Structure 1
Amino acid sequence: MKSFSLNQLAALLNAEISENSTQQFTGLNHLDAATSDQVSFIGSSKYSKNYAASGAGAVVINENLKHLVSGAIPLLVVKNADLAMAKLLSLYEPDAPEFETEISDRAYIHPTAQVGSGCKIGPGCYVGARTVLAEGVTLYPNVTILDDCSIGTRTTIWSGTVIRERSVVGAFCIFHNNVSIGADGFGYRPADDGSGLVKIVHIGNVIIGNGVEIGANSCVDRAKFASTIVGDGCKIDNLVQIAHNCILGRCCIMAGHSGLAGSVTLGDGVVIGGSASIKDHTTIHSGAVVAAGSGVMGDVAAGKTVLGYPATDSRDKLREWAAVRKLGKA
C-alpha cells in the first residue's frame, strides 16, 4: 500500500501546511467519506461548509478559500486544488495489470509487422501486415490493429479496441476499451433507379496526434478521401462520435454522448459539452465552447459560447429563457 507523510505531500504540491501532522496518508476521498488516513479537497466555496464535519486527515484547499474554513483538520493550501488533486491521484494510481510475458504466444503478429523494443502485446491481439508499433506500445488483450497502421511511442491501447487499416496514431496516446478507429464513414445516396441506397465508399484514413486520449466505446471514422484528423492533446470522452473528414485542432475536449457530423472542423481548444451535436460542414473556431445538449447548425466564432437547440449566443439564450419564464408567471 502506498503511504506518504503530510510533508511529502506538501513538497509534491508546493503547498503551505496550516499545521503539522504525523499521520501517514494512504489515499483520497470525498469530504463526507474520507477517513483520518485519507486526503480530501475543497476547490469551490460551496464545499467549505462540509469541512468541519469531515473525517479527513488533511484537506487540499484553494488559497482564496482558506478563510472560509476553521477547525482542526490540517490544510494543504495551494493555488489550484483541482490541479493539486490531479497530482495526488497520479501519486496514488494503482499499478497497471501485469503481463506474464511481454509478447503473448497467443497473439498474432503478421511476419511483415514491425514491433519496437519494450512493446507489450497481450493474448488475443492481432497486428496486421506492414503495421509498425514504435517503442513501448502496450496492447492489452484482444486488441485488433489491421494492415498498414502506425502506432507511436508508448501509446496504450485497452482491450476490445479495433484500429482499421491505414490509421496513423501518435505517441503517448491512450485508447480505452472498445474504441473504434478508422471504420467506414456514414455515406449513402439514393440509387438512380429507385432500388435503394448506394453506399459511398470511404478510401481515406484517420490520423491521430500525440497525447490524445479517447474514452471507451467512442468512434473516429475514416475519411471519404484524405484524412479524418484528431490533433495533439485532444481529450475525447466515452461514447463520442467523430465522423468522416472531421478535423480537430489541438487540445479540444469532447464530453460524453457528443457527436460531430461529417466534415466538421474544430479549432484549437474547442470544448464540446455532453450530448451536444454539431451539423456537418460546420466550423467551430478556436476557444469556442458548445454547452451540453446544444445543437450547432452553423459556424461558431472564436472564443464564443453557444447554448440551446438550435445553439445561439449563450447570453442571448439565457435572456430568452428568462423572458419566457416571466411570461409564464404573468
Structure 2
Amino acid sequence: MKSFSIEDINAIINGEVVGETNKKITGLEQIQKATENQATFIGNRKFAGLWKDSKASLAIVNDNIDIDPGENRVFIKVKNADLAMAKLLETFAPDNLHFEVDIHPSATIDKTAKIGKGSRVGAGCYIGKDVIIGTNVTIFPNVTIMDDTTIGDGTTIWSGTVIRERTVIGNHCLFHTNVSIGADGFGYRPSDDGRGLVKIPHIGNVVIGNGVEIGANSCVDRGKFSSTIIGDGCKIDNLVQIAHNCVLGRSCIMAGSSGLAGSVTLGDGVIIGGSASIKDHTTIHSGATVGAGSGVMNDVPAGKTVLGYPAVDSREMLKQWVALRKLARQ
C-alpha cells in the first residue's frame, strides 16, 4: 500500500499547508466517503459545508475558500484543487497491468509489420500487413490493427479496439476498450429502380493527431474520400460517434453519447455536451460550446454558446425556458 506524509504530498502539488496531523495518507476518496487515512478535495464552496462531517485527515482546497481544517486535520491550499488532485491521482494510481512477455506468442503479426523498441503486444492481437508501430506502444489483448496503419510512439490501445486499414495515429494517444477507428461511413442512396438502397463506398482513411484520447465504445468513421481528422489533444468520451470526413481542430472535447454527422468541422477548443447532435456539413467555430442534449442545425460562430433543439444562442434559449415556465403557471 502506498503511504505518504503531508510533506510528501505537498512536494507534489506545491501548495500552502494549513494545520497539522500525524496521519499518513494511503489513498484518495470523495469527501463523504473518506476515512482518516485518506485525502479528499474541495474545489467549490458548495462542498465546504461537508468538511465538518468528513473523516478525512487532509483536504486539497481552493485558496479562495475560507474554512478552518480543525484539530489534527490539514488543508493544502492551492489555486486549482481539481488540477492538484489530478497530480495526486497519478501518484496513487495502481501499477500498470503486467505483461509476461513483450510480444505474446498467441499474437498474429504479419511478417511485414514493424514494431518499435519497447512496444508490447498482448495475447490474441492481430497486426496486419505493413503496419508500423512506434516505440513504447502498449497494445492490450485482443486488439486488431489492419494493413498499412501507422501508430506513433507511446500510444496505448486497450482490448477490443479495431483499427481499420490505412489509419494514421500520432504519439501518446489513448484508446479505451472497444473503440472502432476507420469503419465505413454511413452512406446510402436510393437505387435507380426505387426498390432498394445503394451503398456508397468509403475509400478514405482516419488521421488522428498527438495526445488524443478516445473513450470506450466510440467510433470514428473513415472518409468517403480524403480523411476524417481528429486534431492534436482532442478528448472524446465514451459512446461518441464521429462520422465520415469530419474534421476536428485542436483540443476539442466531446462528452458521452454526442455525435457528429458527416463532414462536420469543429474549430480549436470546441466543447460538445453530452447527447448533443450536430447536423452534417455544419461548422462550429473555435471556442464555441454546444450544451448537452442540443441539436445544432446551423453554423455556430466562434466563442458562442448554444443550447436547445434546434440550438440557438444560450441567452435566447434561457429566455424561452423562463417564458414557458411562466405560461405553465398561468
TM-score of the superposed pair, with normalisation by structure 1: 0.99
Distance 1:178 1:203 in 2: 23
Q: Secondary structure at the match of 2:320?
A: helix
Alignment partner, residue 175 of structure 2: 175
Q: Is the 8 A contact 1:154 1:172 kept in 2?
A: yes
Gaps of 5+ in 1: none
Q: Secondary structure at the match of 2:182?
A: strand
1:71 aligns with 2:75: no
Amino acid at match of 1:239: L
Offset from partner CA, 1:283-304 (integer Å, 9 cap, x none): 0000000000000000000000
Distance 2:248 2:98 in 1: 34
Amino acid at match of 1:31: I
Distance 1:14 1:102 in 2: 37
Q: What does residue range 1-80 of structure 1 map to in structure 2 within 5 Å? A: 1-65=1-65, 67-69=66-68, 71-72=70-71, 73-80=73-80
Counting aligned pairs with the same residue, the percent is 63
Amino acid at match of 1:6: I
Q: Is the 8 A contact 2:178 2:218 kept in 1?
A: yes
Amino acid at match of 2:266: L
Distance 2:45 2:109 in 1: 54
Q: Is the 8 A contact 1:178 1:216 kept in 2?
A: yes
| 1:194 CA displacement | 1.3
| 1:69 CA displacement | 4.4
Distance 1:176 1:12 in 2: 28
Offset from partner CA, 1:230-274 (integer Å, 9 cap, x none): 000000000000000000000000000000000000000000000
Alignment partner, residue 194 of structure 2: 194
Amino acid at match of 1:117: K
Distance 1:258 1:70 in 2: 41
The change in CA–CA distance for 1:70 and 1:95 in structure 2 (over 3 A counts) is closer
Distance 1:11 1:319 in 2: 48
Distance 2:124 2:328 in 1: 60
Q: Is the 8 A contact 1:52 1:69 kept in 2?
A: no
Amino acid at match of 1:144: T
Q: Is the 8 A contact 1:136 1:155 kept in 2?
A: yes
1:275 aligns with 2:275: yes
Q: What does residue range 85-164 of structure 1 map to in structure 2 within 5 Å? A: 85-164=85-164
| 1:116 CA displacement | 0.5
| 1:3 CA displacement | 1.1
Distance 1:22 1:253 in 2: 41
Q: Runs (4+) of structure 1 moved beyond 4 Å? A: none
Alignment partner, residue 261 of structure 2: 261
Q: Is the 8 A contact 1:206 1:220 kept in 2?
A: yes
| 1:22 CA displacement | 2.6
Distance 1:17 1:68 in 2: 13
Q: Secondary structure at the match of 2:141?
A: coil
Amino acid at match of 2:289: V
Alignment partner, residue 292 of structure 2: 292
Distance 1:327 1:240 in 2: 36
| 1:20 CA displacement | 2.6
Q: Is the 8 A contact 2:294 2:307 kept in 1?
A: yes
Alignment partner, residue 301 of structure 2: 301
Distance 1:22 1:9 in 2: 14
Distance 2:306 2:194 in 1: 40
Greater displacement, 9-18 / 209-218 = 9-18
Alignment partner, residue 322 of structure 1: 322
Distance 1:21 1:325 in 2: 51
Q: Secondary structure at the match of 2:99?
A: coil
Q: Is the 8 A contact 2:19 2:69 kept in 1?
A: no
Q: Is the 8 A contact 1:258 1:276 kept in 2?
A: yes
Q: Is the 8 A contact 1:48 1:69 kept in 2?
A: no
| 1:137 CA displacement | 0.8
